[in-house]
Each structure stands twice: as C-alpha cells, then as structure tokens.
Amino acid sequence: MSDPVTPADAPVQKLPVLFVPDLVVLPGMVVSIELDDAARATVDAARSGSDGRLLVAPRLDDRYAAYGAVATVERVGRVQGGTEAAILKADQRARIGSGVTGPGAALWVEVEPVPADVGAKDDRRVQDLAEEYKRLVVATLQRREAWQVIDQVQRVTDPGALADLAGYAPYLSAERKRELLETAQVAARLELVVGWTREHLAEMELTDKIGHDVAEGMEKSQREFLLRQQLAAIRKELGEGEPEGADDYRARVEAAQVPDAVRASMLREVDKLERASDQSPETSYLRTWLDTVLDLPWSVRTDDTTDVAAARAVLDADHHGLEEVKDRITEYLAVRARRAERGLQVVGGRGSGAVMLLAGPPGVGKTSLGESVARALGREFVRVSLGGVRDEAEIRGHRRTYVGALPGRIVRAVKEAGSMNPVVLLDEVDKVGADHRGDPAAALLEVLDPAQNHTFRDHYLELDLDLSDVLFLATANVVEQIPQALLDRMELITLDGYTEDDKVAIARDYLLPRQLERTAMTPDEVTVTDEALHELAASHTREAGVRQMERLLARLLRKAATRLATGQASGPVHVDVADLKDLVGRPRFTPEVAERTSVPGVATGLAVTGLGGDVLFIEASAHEVRPGGSPGLTLTGQLGEVMKESAQIALTYVTAHADELGVDPAFFDRAVHLHVPAGAVPKDGPSAGITMVTALTSLATGRPVRSEVGMTGEVTLNGRVLPIGGLKQKLLAAQRAGLTEVFVPLRNEPDLDDVPEEVLAALTVHVVGDVRDVVRGALGEAAEVAVERAA
C-alpha cells in the first residue's frame, strides 16, 4: 500500500460520513445502501448541508477505515419489500481527518481528497499493466459467459478507473478491496489486481482440470467394463470358463434348481446386468432382484409325517379341546398320506392347497395352534402379522422401479421358512385396513384361493410362485369384518371359547406348568387345588379364552415365590379357595342378574362381541308426557342403526298386540325410554329384538322378568323369532353369568349340536318361533312355553 502526498493547497472538505459494514465502495461504483436510522441521518445531512455529498467508508471487523470514497446521493426511495434505500455514486478517494461539528444527527469529519494520478495515462508501464488486467478480466468473464459485461469493460480506457472496477469482483474479499481503496497510485493498484486475478484464474483452471479428470475416469471405467465383458465372452467361446466369484450371477443361475420359466427370466436379467455399467443405478436393482430370487427355496420341500395317529397325539398334547380344528388337520393329513401311498401327486397343482380360518375371541389358542399344526405335520412354521396393514404392497410387494423395493410379506415368509410347503399363519386377518395405498384384503384374494395360488405373482418378483402346497391358517376375532369375497375362499372353523371345566383343565395341564417354569418353581413347592382353579375361572375371570386366567396364575406364583424367599412360608405353599383373596385379591365378578332384573322393565339378553359371548341387560322405563309434548321412544346406550330399528319394531309389536300380552293400551300414551348399558360401548345387531319386546312387556304389565332367564333372537313385526349367529358363544356366556334357562330361535336348533354337553346340562334351552312364547315364559308363565329341547 502507498499513501499519496496531499498537496498543501488541496482543499479540505467537511462532509458527513457513512460507515458501511462489510462493504467497500471504490471510486466509479454505484451502490444501493439500505437506510437504518444512522444512515438516514447521514443522507439527510448530506442533502441539506453538503449538496448531497458524503463520505462512504468501510467498517470491517468493527474497525473503522482511514480512507473512504466521496459519493453523491443520486436518489432515495424504497426497494422491493418496502425497505428504504439510497443510491450512491462514488467519485474519488479521500482520507478521513478529525471529526467536526455539523448540522443534523450525522457524524461530520474533515475530508482530504486524494488527487487523481494525472500522468498515469502516459506511463508505459501503467499502460501495459492496464492491458494485462483487461485481458485477465475478459478471460474471467468469458468463463462465466458474461458477454454484456465484457463489452462494458472493453470501453473503459482510463487505467485508474479500470483498476477500480475490481470493486465489483465477487472473488475478491472485503479486506483486499479495502487495500485497493487505500492505494492511491494507479500502477500499484494495477499490480495488485493483476496478481489477484491471476490467482483466481489459476484456481478456476485447476477446478476445470479436476472435473475433466473425473469425467475421463468415468469414461475409462466404462471402457474397462466393456472390455471385461468382451473378455468374458471370448473365454466362454474358448470354453475356458469364467473366474469364480460372488458376482458370477450367470453361473449361479445356471446351477440353481429352479423351474425353467424362472431360469429363463433370471438369465434375461443377467444379460441386462452384464450390459449395464457399474455406475448405472439399474445395476444395484438387478443384483438385489437376482439375490432375492436365488435365495427363494424353489426346489426345497419338507416331508410331511405319514403317521396320522402321532400327529393327532401332538395336537392333543399341545391344546385342550378344539376338536373341530384337530379333526380337520387330521383329515388333511390322512388324505395326503393316502395319496403318497398310491403314488399320486402330492405337491403343487391347481386346488391342492388348504386354507383354514380360525375365528374366535382372544385367548382361545388360535395363534399357538398354528405352531402346533406345523409340528404335527413336520413342516416349517412362519407367522405373518396383518394387524393394521393398510398398504397393498405389503402383500404383493413393490414394483422394482421404486427405491428400496421389497417383495411382499408372503414371499418373505416363504423365504424365511426355507421351503415351499410351510405352515403360514396369517394372524389377525380381520384387522386389515384400506386407504389410498390400496386394499390388502383384496390382494389376499389370490393368495388364499386354492384354485389360483399355484401361479401367485408378486409385484417385485414378477414370476409365478407356486403356493398351492402352503398350508395357510388365518386367524380372526370378528368374522363380520372380513370381506365376503375373502371369507368365501377360506374354510371357516369357529373356536367359540371354553367352558369352566375346560379352563380348569387347561390351567392344570398347560398354564400352571408353564408359569411354574417361568418362576423357577416346582410342583413340590407350590400346589393349587382344582377347587381354587374353579374359583379363579368362575369369580375372578369372565372371558372366552384363558389369558386372564394365566395372568392370575402368574400373579399367584409370584406371591408364593415371595413368601418362600422372605421366609413367610416355611414349607410348600398350598393354594386353596380360602387363600385366593390374599394372593390374587377379591373376586371381580359376582352374580348380578337377579339384582338387575328384580324390577319390571329389565330383561337379560345374550350378545357376541369381539371378546366372545356376553350378557346384555335391556332396561325400559316410561314417564308421563309433559304438557305440549307427545309420546315417543328414546334410545340410549350407543346403539347402531340395526339395533335402533329392533327397538322400534319391538315397541310397534307390543303396541299392536297389547290385548294378547295383557298390556293396558293407555300405557302407550306415556313416553318410553329404552337403555342398553354400558353406555360407553357401541352396540349393534338384530339379536336383541325378543329381549326388547320382553322388557317393554314387563314394564307395561308390571311383572319382573325371571332372574334365571336369558334370551336371544331377532323379532319381526308379526312376532316371528328369526335365527341369529354365535349361539355357542352366547350359551357359554349364559352359563358363566349363572343363568339356567335360555330362549333361542327355533331355526337355530341345529346349532345346539355344537354346544358342549356340560353347557346343555347346566341350561334349560327353549327353542321358540313366536315371541309370545318368550314373553309368557320369561314373565313366569312357564307352563305355556314352547316345547323344551330334549337334553
């Protein structure tokens, strides 16, 4: 940097000064400055006290400069966005002197202008530097393709003005521009900008060279790949064979034991892989697809057991009861063993598979039954959870064009099993949902159809996969939530729940030994009587399955282990009925039917929920109509549309047959309120029709319903009792609730064959076709009830 010598007669000016952060303004530059309070005061002072002239000086790193540029305020206005700004045009350099006073709130200083270097134009060295700098600037602008700026640079002839154009250069730092501002001699300024521009050009050339080398390297890799492919083809023609390695997909495909159609498809993909570049994204997709297809067990099948009796023994050892599903598996095994003995086709082919749906409440053993079936058959077992699945691609897979594409859960299950004939358990098939990504239940139609699944096509594989020898077991809690088309493709086997005796047997033979093992105890240390197990099943649980029963046993054994560990028990812990209160607490369920039905207007119905069968109380009440009001029916208890219609039908029937039922017609001048507890639980279905008729008749006649009576059935306007579903679960619930007499529809009589004998022995079941028989029997006129079904 060189400081000019200011002539003694150089005029000293007094100007307001504007310090600009991180910006260096050189003579000849036109800049726009956003105005804050301080800048606005400086501009106002310049326009009022110095003919619009001010000094613009940089402030870098909170340091004020010793030099600045004298500038003129060309215009003040607002830029886009509404911010106020001023346009300044710098004229010449100036040195900042001492501060002085001046009008306005601005800072005024004495300014010593730096005179222009008049003789620089005639200096040969300056001319050469100017030409060199112009050449470098044009070369830089050509790389940026800034052709209009090049024309403007070519028109600049003054060396000093040319050097000060560096103030617009984006590649120069603010510190370098400040150094340029403080250098008054033209030759020195040109030397600085020439050196800096050369450095910048060298960096640009190096960057271009690196980019060029990278491009050449990619072309070289592609050339090497092509040569290697040609070398492999030459070796193949010569019969020398290709080198072994993980990437030798062609040899792996030709050696794989796969169907011919699959091998042909795989070889086509290998051809694509050999032609593709290593840098191509398609290469990774092809490798992943080939690895997936090669990993599938196309030719692997396990041998089914041919000892039907031994397989049935395995099923009986693993699960108590469940005779229907055990019989079906045994039949399946017997047919396969017979076909194997006679040399008939056993695997593959249209319609040779089996698809069974195990439907029932939670805790009855549906999921664990799948493992037992696989063990009985001697097959691999895979569980596929479908609860909450809403994407069709989860079943059929993603298209290979998507990033991160995978085959569907069915293909992954076969791959995990390692054989083409596993037992695949599709758990919670009724919990499958649908959204904008498709309907997974619809995608299951092909999977679970024995007439179609021998050519199942996954979207990712796009190959025919034979699923006909897979034994599919599906589980569900609520059959009504399964689409009808999907339900039609499966063989429905209902698991309705356990009786109290079944629960005690399961607890004694299965649950208690398992919990003893988990608590590291032996039967010699803890014993539980059958009476205690009966009490747990009757008074502490009220469920169709045995999950809560197992939790109570686990709690009981933990308490016993604590007593043994703390010395509270000196010897083996013996658990009887009297000990249950201390170990598992008070009974949670006590008989309440007698209390609820002790007043007229309450009847006990039977219902089926996702948790199994349950009793349902229908409560009816009536009150006088307020002045100006009208009689009507009020319904509460979160009832569905079907149940609301049943209530309307029941009221209409009682009104129309008041004389036959012994009801005073004046009763219907009152407002009737029908409520179904619990109010927080949604309820729907037609099977509460006869219960509503009985409750309304009980209220109208003032006769309470017999406390030991329960009922279920749909009613028509003519009083006919129509059949309902879930009869077995409802009768199990009636037994658990302590009922002894049940009215069921006449057309449901064949369903009683599926009800356990101990349940029928504990209940008196009346099959009725007319609701008047129900009303007479429920209100105490038992002699006129329809004929009982013989035990």
Helices (H), 448-507: 484-487, 500-506
CB 460 within 8 A of CB 397: yes
CB atoms near residue 151 (< 10 Å): 10
Cα gap 274→276, rounded to integer Å: 6
Give Cα separations from 516 to 363, 524, 598 (angstroms). 20, 10, 44
- Cα 327 to chain centroid distance, Å, stands at 39
Give Cα separations from 631 to 482, 651, 670, 689 (angstroms). 41, 12, 5, 21
Cα-Cα-Cα-Cα dihedral sign, residues 450, 451, 454, 460: negative
The residue with tokens 């036959």 is 660
Q: Does residue 425 come out as left (phi exceeding 0), alpha (psi in the -120 to 50 range) or beta?
A: beta
Cα gap 652→650, rounded to integer Å: 5
Give the N- to C-terminal CA distance of the chain in Å, as an integer: 119
360 labeled binding residue: yes
Cα gap 447→97, rounded to integer Å: 91
CB 47 within 8 A of CB 102: no
Shortest CA distance to 71 belongs to which of 85, 52, 86? 52
Helix %, strand %, coil % of the chain (to 5): 45, 20, 35
The dihedral formed by the CA atoms of 757, 759, 760 and 761, expressed in degrees to the nearest 10: 80
Give Cα separations from 461 to 268, 275, 398 (angstroms). 13, 21, 9
Cα-Cα-Cα-Cα dihedral sign, residues 654, 656, 658, 661: negative
Q: Check 50, 687, 698, 707 and give the catalytic one.
A: 687
364 labeled binding residue: yes
366 labeled binding residue: yes
Give Cα separations from 500 to 245, 692, 734, 738, 762 (angstroms). 64, 29, 12, 12, 11
Q: Check 134, 503, 683, 730 and give the catalytic one.
A: 730
The backbone torsions φ and ψ at residue 213, rounded to the nearest 5 degrees and listed phi first, read: -65, -40
The token pair at 473 is 């077991």
Beta-bridged to residue 59, according to DSSP, are 21, 64
The token pair at 327 is 């019989």
| Angle, helix 308-318 to helix 366-377, in steps of 10 degrees | 150
730 in active site? yes
The token pair at 206 is 């190096």
Cα gap 39→238, rounded to integer Å: 85
104 labeled binding residue: no
361 labeled binding residue: yes
365 labeled binding residue: yes
- Cα 19 to chain centroid distance, Å, stands at 58
Cα gap 618→691, rounded to integer Å: 7
Burial of 156 (0-12, 13-18, 19+ CB in 10 A): middle
687 in active site? yes
Q: Which residue ranges are tagged as binding site for ATP?
A: 360-367
Which residues are annotated as catalytic? 687, 730
Q: Which residue ranges are tagged as binding site?
A: 360-367
